[in-house]
C-alpha cells in the first residue's frame, strides 16, 4: 500500500460507513425491532443479521454493554469509556429482570444512534 493509499484510507472508510448506515436505516422497521425483542440471541432474519453484524464490527461512537449488577437478578446498560482500565459507566437507573431484556434495550439504543446519524 502506498502512502497515498494510506492517506485516503480514513476518507474511504467514512464514505463506506455512511453508505452502509444509509442502507441499514432502510431495514429498521417495527417488525425488525419486534423480531429482536422476541429473540435477541437466536436465529435472525437476513435484515436483522445485517444490522447486528454492523453493530458488532463498526467503530460506533457509543459502545453499549450489558452489565450484570446483581447476579441472575438484575442487569443494566453501561457505556464503555474507550480508555483501557476505565470501568464502564452505567447510563441510567433503569434495571432489567433478564439478560435478554437488557440485550434488547442495548439494541434499541444502538438503533436510535444509527437513525440519528
User: Where exactly are the structural domains of the chain?
Assistant: 3-116
Q: What average pLDDT is seen over the chain? A: 91
DSSP letter string, 60-78: -SS-EEEEEEETTTEEEEE
Distance from C-alpha of 33 to C-alpha of 52, rounded to nearest angstrom: 11
Q: What's residue 99's pLDDT?
A: 97
Q: Given this model, what pLDDT does residue 11 score?
A: 85
Contact 105, 33 (CB under 8 A): no
| pLDDT value of position 59 | 73
pTM for the whole structure: 0.86
Residues of the chain short of pLDDT 70, as ranges, are: 1-6, 60
69 CA to centre of own chain: 20
Amino acid at each position: 500500500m502506498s502512502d497515498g493509499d494510506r492517506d485516503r484510507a480514513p476518507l474511504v472508510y467514512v464514505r463506506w460507513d455512511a453508505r452502509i448506515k444509509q442502507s441499514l436505516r432502510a431495514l429498521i422497521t417495527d417488525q425488525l425491532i419486534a423480531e429482536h425483542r422476541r429473540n435477541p440471541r437466536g436465529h435472525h432474519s437476513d435484515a436483522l443479521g445485517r444490522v447486528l453484524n454492523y453493530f458488532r464490527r463498526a467503530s460506533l461512537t457509543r459502545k453499549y454493554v450489558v452489565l450484570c449488577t446483581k447476579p441472575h437478578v438484575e442487569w443494566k446498560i453501561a457505556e464503555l469509556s474507550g480508555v483501557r482500565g476505565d470501568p464502564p459507566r452505567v447510563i441510567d437507573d433503569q434495571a432489567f429482570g433478564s439478560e435478554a431484556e437488557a440485550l434488547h434495550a442495548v439494541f434499541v439504543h444502538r438503533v436510535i444512534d444509527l437513525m440519528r446519524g
